[in-house]
Chains A and B, each alone.
Chain A
Amino acid sequence: MKYIDEFRNLKIAEKLYRLINEEAEGLRRVNFMEVCGTHTMAVERFGIRRMLPENVRLISGPGCPVCVTPKNYIDKAIALTAIDDVVVFSFGDMLKVPGTNSSLLKQNPKGKVRVVYSALDAVEFAEKNRDKKIIFLGIGFETTVPTVAASIKYAKKKKLKNFFVYSGHKVMPPAMRLLAGDKEVNIKGFLCPAHVSAIIGTMPYSIISKKYNIPCVISGFEPLDILQSILMLVRQVKLNIAKVENQYNRVVKASGNIKALSLIDEVFSTHDSEWRGIGVIKKSGLVLSRRYSDFDAEKNIDFPKVETKMDKGCICGSVLKGIKTPPECGLFSKKCTPENPYGACMVSSEGACAAYYRYGAGRK
């Protein structure tokens, strides 16, 4: 495919590996974090992590939206399916995530849970089925948020009274700032997300690079993008500088996408939000703004009571913070597999555990 295949050229990849090795020679051991789950997936799929020199360690971050969605959210989403006239719409990734007793996939008796590609599909269903309450599970970071915001705006335009969003949306920079300041994780460079950055631009990373003295490189998702970005990070470390560089400038503008950003501002407002395994991060979540509160599931639907029990033995939290790698978990590839997942990191195809498992890293 155009603008994908060109960025998978093996010869250039080999050259980049050689250059990374040459530049990293004699360097003290550094941790670079790939923040985004789509990067984690690509890094495993193309075997990048294992090909890097020993002193350049790539650790996975919390950028898998399904993985950081709290268990209580899953329990509440499952409970919604018990309401008679409710139909729950979700992105496919959410279905297998285990709640306390079940998952949306297991709890789908009469087509009460439906998978959509876009939030707009749920709005269209609501338009045709006015006797049903349609609840869309809003999961995802800045890449996805504008698409949900546009769908909510469309529902308002159509004066729909039966479309609601249960927002579990999150924004990336507050989590990155938290990790940047965490001595245990000890990050020496961020591989910044490609498409989150297409929306938010380069500015939010300037604060991270300045305040925490951590180099930030916005990277595309193809193997050459990732390798070039790692090389850029290594070169910054070597020169002892910390600035924001934009490797993915074919898509990401410094200003981000202003139209999408203003739409997010119009439809959502920030609040303190819980990240599974990490805890509450200030101003890291999005709820519907007052202007759009008629579409807020939490304000308009009477949620059944749920009791959430925390995970035992699952180290998802440490994996999401990059403190531990999946094979360091006692459950990994034994009790916890993609077919029978314990934690969310094994469920989502973008979760670090699922990516490690699928491509064979650390499997026993």
Chain B
Amino acid sequence: MCLAIPMKILKIEGDRAVVSSGGVQRSIGINFLKSPKIGDYVIVHAGFAIEKLDTVKAEETLKILEELQ
């Protein structure tokens, strides 16, 4: 039940945003996000973004995985 997927913010209106992933668009609540911006990736669960996804850290993790020996 804690499944949540990364989606990209396309539009922001007050405490709601339109997000998209794999061709699917959805309107969600962004009440819990600190200064959300268009283009941010957010983790979406039960109609709300529960947190931002830090794309720099994601790339770092992928690099670590690549280089891990």
Contact = CB atoms under 8 A, between A and B. Distances in A.
Q: Is this pair of chains taken from one and the same complex? A: yes
Interface of A: 1-4, 6-7, 9, 12, 15-16, 19, 36-38, 63-66, 91, 93, 117-121, 139-141, 143-144, 146-148, 150, 193-196, 198-199, 221, 224, 228, 231, 247, 249-253, 257, 259-260, 263, 348, 350
A259 B4 contact: no
Contacts of B32: 146, 150, 257, 259-260, 263
A10 to B, nearest CB: 12
Interface majority SS on B: helix, strand, loop or mixed? mixed
B68 A147 contact: no
A41 B64 CA distance: 25
B7 to A, nearest CB: 9
A350 B1 contact: yes
A65 B69 CA distance: 37
A227 B4 CA distance: 19
A147 B54 contact: no
A208 B52 CA distance: 26
B2 A147 contact: no
B47 A120 contact: yes
A38 B1 contact: yes
Contacts of B48: 118, 120, 146-147, 150
Contact of A251 (B31, B43, B68, B69): B43
Given A16-B68, A19-B68, A221-B3, A147 B43 contact: no
B45 A2 contact: no
A42 to B, nearest CB: 9
A298 to B, nearest CB: 22
12 contacts: A3-B41, A4-B6, A7-B62, A16-B65, A37-B2, A66-B1, A91-B46, A117-B47, A121-B47, A195-B43, A228-B64, A251-B52
Contact of A143 (B4, B54, B62, B68): B4
Q: Which 8 A-B pairs have the closest CB atoms?
A: A118-B47, A250-B58, A260-B32, A250-B57, A3-B6, A143-B2, A147-B46, A198-B51
Nearest to A19: B68
Contacts of B3: 38, 195, 221
A208 B37 CA distance: 36
A150 B29 contact: yes
B2 A193 contact: yes
B10 to A, nearest CB: 14
Interface in B19-69: 21-22, 29, 31-34, 41, 43, 45-48, 50-55, 57-58, 61-62, 64-66, 68-69
A19 to B, nearest CB: 7
Given A3-B55, A64-B1, A259-B32, 19 more contacts: A1-B6, A2-B6, A2-B8, A3-B41, A4-B6, A37-B1, A91-B46, A118-B48, A120-B29, A120-B48, A150-B48, A194-B2, A195-B4, A199-B51, A228-B68, A249-B57, A250-B53, A250-B57, A257-B51
Contact of B21 (A1, A147, A193, A259): A1
A12 B68 CA distance: 9
Contacts of A250: 53-55, 57-58, 61
A114 B54 CA distance: 36
B52 to A, nearest CB: 8
B1 A228 contact: no
Which of B1, B31, B46 has the most chain A CB within a 10 Å cutoff? B1
